[in-house]
Each structure stands twice: as C-alpha cells, then as structure tokens.
A and B are shown apart, each in its own frame.
Chain A
Amino acid sequence: MATLEIKNLHARVAEEDGEQILRGVDLEVKSGEIHALMGPNGSGKSTTSKIIAGHPAYEVTDGEILLHLEDDDFGDLEIPDDVRTWNLLELEPNERAALGIFLGFQYPAEIEGVTMTNFLRTALNAKIDEREELLFGEDDEEEEEEAGYDTSPMEGNVDDGEVGVAEFQKLLKEKMELLDMDEKFMQRYLNAGFSGGEKKQNEVLQAAILEPSIAVLDEIDSGLDIDRLQDVSKGINALRDEQGTGILQITHYQRILEYVEPDHVHIMLDGKVVKSGDASLASELEDKGYDWVREEVYEAA
C-alpha cells in the first residue's frame, strides 16, 4: 500500500514576483482510497495536482511531498527498505510516474503523429525501466539504445522494453472495452482531434494501463455528458477496485461523486485545505455553497 503525504506545502508561480498560490496544504491519500478535493476557482486545487506531478511552472517554497511505498505496490516486486520513502520534490516528473504517481489532466495535450498504441507502450516500458533503476539502480539503457527497429518506426521495436507489441495490444484492448472506448482509438494520434469527453476517457484509460498507486484526476468530470460521465466513473471505480489505486479527484461538482463515491472529501480555500470530512460533506457543500465554508473557517479563526 502506497501513501502520498503532502505536508505544509507552500508554492508560488516560478517567475519573478510570482504569485503565492499554496499556503500550507496538508493531505494524505492512501492506495485504495477515494478522495475528493473541492473548492472554488483559484483556491489552488489544480496547482496542487500539478505540483504533485512535478510541473516546472511552480516553485515550492516550503513543505514537502512524500511517497511511502510498500511491498505490494508493484506486484511481486520486493522493495528494498532504504528506498521505501521518496521525497517527490527531488524527482523528475517521469521518475514520479515511475514510482506510481499519475496525473489526469484537465486539458490533456494533443500530440500529432504519435499513435495511442505507440505512445502508451513506450510510456509503460519507460516507466518500468525507470522504476527498476530507481529501486535497484539498474541501468539497461545502453542495451536498449542498440536494439534498433525491427518493425515500423511508427510502432516501435517488437522487443523494445518489457512489454512487447502483441502483449500490449491485448492489454490495451481489454482496458478499452472496460471503458467502452472504440478500438479505432488505438491507431489515432494521441488526443489529436478528440472531443472533450474522449480526452477525459483517454486520461482514465492511460491510468488503467499505467497502473499507478496514486492517481490525481484534475476535473476529469468537466465537459462530460451523462453517458460519458458514467463510463469515466466506471473506469475510476475500476482503478480503485481492481488495481487498488488511490484516487485524489479534483472537482467542482457533486455530480460525479454520485457515481464515484468518495471515502474522504476535502475543501480548499485560499491555498489551504480548510475542511475535511466524509461523503456527506460534499452534499452539504452542494446545499450551502462555499460561502458557508468560508464563514465557518474564518469565524473559527
């Protein structure tokens, strides 16, 4: 079981006189749990998610983000004792991904000319390689460099990496069925020309393939019609139920929480988590609005 632990996180925009956005965020997400992070626009939800993944546009001025790993996090892999706790802020975004962090983007990038299959298999293999390197210090990069192409450069090498083309296609097909995605997506370019809903579905699909320990989903529900919302919700629940992924779901709306029931709900205001509770907090918020939280918090202060 992995635990993502955010302690007293302060951060600002990484430029001269950059605006301070986070003012002491505390949050803990464990594998298998579903957390909802709510809050008004500009309260720092998206920034928190980007900083977890290592976005270079923000500078952490105080606090830390730790990831604690346990033996069952990567299948049968035994994790040496001295590499069970990681300070994420010292790691590159791809290293964080390798250790099981996933960010579902609110606005996923469109990459022309790169097929979904090629991208996802490359990412999966890169992730596995990087994880080996981080945990066991193995570096088989040289071997890989020499491998060259045995098939089309568009598909990559058959033997390149842990997961081969055939094995990967089977895996991808399986996960796509689960999400009710059309097979034709496999050969489409990554997010290029996807509708808003298709992009969100694709984010969940990627999480299903990459099997993260902790998935941070930034407004995965925005721009979804009701059918797609149900598909996406089904996918998110499957992440938790089948892979034991811990979910930190950022949302504005109560709606998705009807399909993906959170174990914990947190409310952010002005760069801090000000209130936490169970699923009922979300309904209460729906009724009373953020002003209620604001009043309560500042009165107490």
Chain B
Amino acid sequence: MSSDQDHLKETDTEARFEFKKEQKAAFVAEKGLNEETIRVISEDKDEPEWMLERRLRALKQYQKMPMPTDWPGQPDLSEVDVDEIVPYIRPDVEVRGGVDDWRDLPDDIKDTFDKLGIPEAEKNALSGVGAQYESEVVYQNMQERWEEKGVVFMNMDQAVQEHEDIVKEYFMTKCVPPSDNKFAALHGAIWSGGSFVYVPEDVTVEMPVQAYFRMNSEGMGQFEHTLIVAEKGSEVHYIEGCSAPKYSAFNLHSGGVEVFVGEDAHVQYSTVQNWSKNTYNLNTKRAIVEKGGRMEWISGSMGSKATMLYPASILKGRGASDNHITIAFAGEGQNIDTGAKVYHNAPETKSTIESKSISKDGGRTNYRGLVHIANGAKNSSTAVECDALMFDNESTSDTMPYMEINESTVDVAHEATVGKIGDEDIFYLQSRGLDDDDAKQMIVSGFIEPITEELPIEYAVELNRLVELEMEGSLG
C-alpha cells in the first residue's frame, strides 16, 4: 500500500510514548479537591452558572460515595488518593479553546504531538483532530466540508459556551449522571477538556475524527469529557488515543464519555489506550441507542497500572444493536479490568461482545461484563465470547460474564476460554525456523486476529504494533 501509513511505523519505539516534556503551565490548581478548587476551575473557564452548580452537586455526591473495594478480583485502588492529585493544569498557550494550526502551538507541545504522529495522521486519514495537553484542548480542527454540512467537532469547554442548549440538555443528565459511580461523580466535579461531536440528520462523516489525550505532568489527573450526539440516520467514527510518560508518582485518568445514537444512526467509538504504567485509568463510557441505531465500542487497553472500564450500551429503541470488541494486554504490575455492559430495553435488540485478553509476567486481566435483557425485550439476542491467553504461571486471568435475562423469547449465546500459551505450539513454530520471541508473537497475533480483522486497517496496524511493543523486552 501507499506511504500514508508511514507515520504508524514510529510506534516501533517506546520513545514514541515515553518522552517527557518540562512542565510549563499558565495555571496549575492546588492539589486535592474541595469546593474552592471547583469554583476556581469553573471561573478560570468562565463557565455559566448552571455548569458550576452541576460541578458542585457532583462534588457532594463524590464525597458521599465510598470507594469501590468489594468487587471480586478488582484492581487495588488504595494508592488512589485524590487529595494528592493536581486536578487541573492549563497549559501555557495563547488561544483558549485550541488553535487550528499546529504551527501556532508552543514548540514543546507541538513537538509532543509530532512525535505521536498526530498531525501526520490528520493529513492522511482523518476528518478532524482534537488534541488535549494536560487539562485543556490545545488544537482543534476539522475539514471545512464537514463544517459546511453542520457537523460540529470542538472542544468540550468551548461547546459549553457555543452550544449551551445542547450541552445543557445532554451533559451528564440522562446518560452518565454523576451519581452513577464514585469516579463518574469525581469526573462531574472536575472535568476539563474533551470533545463535543454533533452530527446532523442523515450526514455521514466518512473519515474518522480523532482526539488525542496526553498527560505530561507528574501526579496530575486528566478528566476529559466526550459528548457525541449523532442525529437520526447519521454516521460517525470517533477515535481516541491516550498516552503519558512514566513518573514515579501515580497519575489518574477518569474520563467520561456519553454517546447519543439517534434513530438508525451508527456510531463507532474506538480507543487505543496506552497510558504509562503509573496511571490509574477509571472511566465511565456509555451510549444510549435509539430505534434501529447501532453502537460499536472498540477498545485496545495496553497501558496503565490499573484500568477499570466497561463501556455500556443502552439499547433503548426497537431493533437497536451493539457490538463490543475489546483487547486487553497486562504485563508486569498491571491489572486490566475491562468488559462490557449492554442493557436490552426494547424488542429485537441485538448485541455481540468479543473480548480477548493477554497476560504475562504476573499481569492480570479480568473480563467483567453484564448483559441485561429486560422483560418485554422480545426476540432480542446476545452473543458473548471472551478468551484469555496467559503467558506463564505467574499471570492471571478471570472472566466474570454476568447475565440477567428477564425475557423468555431471546437468543443467548456465551463462550469463554482461558488458556496458557502452549509449549508444544511454540516448539512447533520454532522447528520451522521462528525464534522463541517470534513464535510467541505469532501465537498472540493469531489469538487477537479475529478481532483485528474486523478493524479499520490503520487501527489494526497500530494495535498490532502496540502488542508487539508490549511483548518486547519481556520475552527471550
């Protein structure tokens, strides 16, 4: 194929994600979290009163809710002390809300995204790009032809100002209310940055829009909010990528994602998560799908110290459908706890969940999922398949696929496998000329192949590269 994937080759080096930049900021909030912090952040953003009120309400809920500690096999969150986190850092850029030309960014920030290959990708394969550095979006651009069709892709803070009505209606009201869980409440209190995507009726955004989230400072928290509203008959593919350099102190990422899939609309939400291995990644992602609409969640979780992420689809209208594809990779010291939730709340709704996880060098992966089929959701169907591959006896993997089926005329299929990478398989490949590392890598790429073959090519390549990267060093 042509050279338009050249930028992806850069993934070869760990350096692509690991470099650090000196911390330069225009505004750094005090560590910790209290009403005063929230007021300062809201004021710095010049927010309307209602948003400040929502933040304060979320803060109260956060303070009341206990940390989740009683889930079987869950990651240890005892190190997560929000009072030790710097919740808000506004990078030192002139234009609030993000420039639309990379050259207008300070050199150190521009250099960061260059190394990550974002501007290059934008030129070649994307309809629009947003880039967040610390707590604020520093770059935002979308091709004119989409703007002309009424598509909106802007940073979330700006959307609060410019699309106040829509945001007020949808922002953490019906999809992910702050009361949902402790980290959703935390997010509601101190969210900053993220993307707002609005696709008008019957518009198909042909190339994906991408947002990239970068945490550069030590001990900070990133709490971006993404709100996607896809109107009737529209179609959009949103990709997010995340990374951070590694520091000794922990970082916290607690994003919130709300997707509204209109009648017969189709939204694909893809994530490549490669946070540094000191990051706690605790997100809430949810979609509400109307009649005939289709939601697809695709997640590759490679990085972070601990991840708890269960993207959810609420199939609200008749014939709505969902597809979850999840790949998790846990190495030494990592605990990747991911899964999927689907609520079948209407007849003829359909979901498929495919999860593949790989653990090595003492890493742990969990699949934790829930499929709920409501009474009356007649002729609905769900198929859940989760497979786990372990490299050694030190690594662990659990699958916890919960099902709540309250309707009898449904079709439910479930399959789970947990296995260790086979010595005989490795020997077989070795006897044909592959060395030990290449043999293992081939087995792993084969293991995730049923998933990668369904992905857009750029995404599949990136994911394969990341898996290779994860396996380097630990093998041989």
Instruction: Give residues in A with beta carbon < 8 Å to B.
Output: 53-57, 92-94, 96-98, 102-103, 105, 108-109, 111-114, 119-120, 122-124, 126-127, 130, 145-146, 148-154, 189-190, 206, 210
Contacts and interface: CB of A to CB of B under 8 A. Distances in A.
A151 B438 contact: no
Interface string B432-447: 1111101100110111
Contact of A126 (B1, B433, B448): B433
A150 B8 CA distance: 10
A152 B464 CA distance: 10
Contact of B447 (A112, A123, A126, A127): A112
Contacts of B425: 109, 111
B446 A111 contact: yes
A92 B426 CA distance: 12
A153 B452 contact: yes
17 contacts: A57-B423, A92-B430, A92-B435, A94-B430, A94-B436, A94-B439, A96-B431, A97-B433, A113-B446, A122-B434, A122-B438, A123-B432, A130-B435, A145-B12, A148-B9, A149-B9, A190-B446
Contacts of A108: 428
A111 B443 contact: yes
Interface residue tally on B, bucketed by range: 35 or more
B12 A146 contact: yes
B1 A93 contact: no
A154 B449 contact: yes
A13 to B, nearest CB: 14
Contacts of B424: 109
A207 to B, nearest CB: 10
| Secondary structure class of chain B's binding surface, majority of residues | helix
Contacts of A57: 423
B356 to A, nearest CB: 10
B446 A114 contact: yes
A153 B451 CA distance: 12
B445 A114 contact: yes
Given A54-B430, A127-B433, A153 B12 contact: no
B1, B12, B429 pick with most chain A CB within 10 angstroms: B429
A126 B434 CA distance: 6
A122 B442 contact: yes
Interface in B266-291: none
Nearest to B423: A56
B242 interface: no
Contacts of A210: 432-433
Interface string B1-36: 100011011001000000000000000000000000
B434 A153 contact: no
B1 A114 contact: no
Nearest to B435: A94
Contact of B453 (A54, A127, A154): A154
Contact of A97 (B6, B432, B449): B432
Given A111-B446, A112-B447, A94 B434 contact: yes
Given A109-B422, A122-B434, A154-B452, A146 B9 contact: yes
B455 to A, nearest CB: 10
Contact of B431 (A53, A111, A114, A190): A53
B430 A97 contact: yes
B427 interface: yes
B431 A97 contact: yes
Contacts of B434: 94, 122-123, 126
A98, A108, A109, A119 pick with most chain B CB within 10 angstroms: A109
Contacts of B439: 94
Contacts of B430: 54, 92-94, 97
A240 B49 CA distance: 85
A153 B446 contact: no
Contacts of A145: 12
A146 B448 CA distance: 23
Nearest to A149: B461
Nearest to B441: A122
A92 B436 contact: yes
B460 interface: yes
Contact of A153 (B431, B432, B445, B450): B445
A277 to B, nearest CB: 30
Given A146-B12, A148-B8, A154-B453, A113 B435 contact: no
Contact of B1 (A113, A122, A151): A151
B125 interface: no
A124 B430 CA distance: 12
B77 interface: no
A201 to B, nearest CB: 16
Contacts of B447: 112-113
Contact of B5 (A102, A113, A149): A149
Contacts of A122: 434, 438, 442
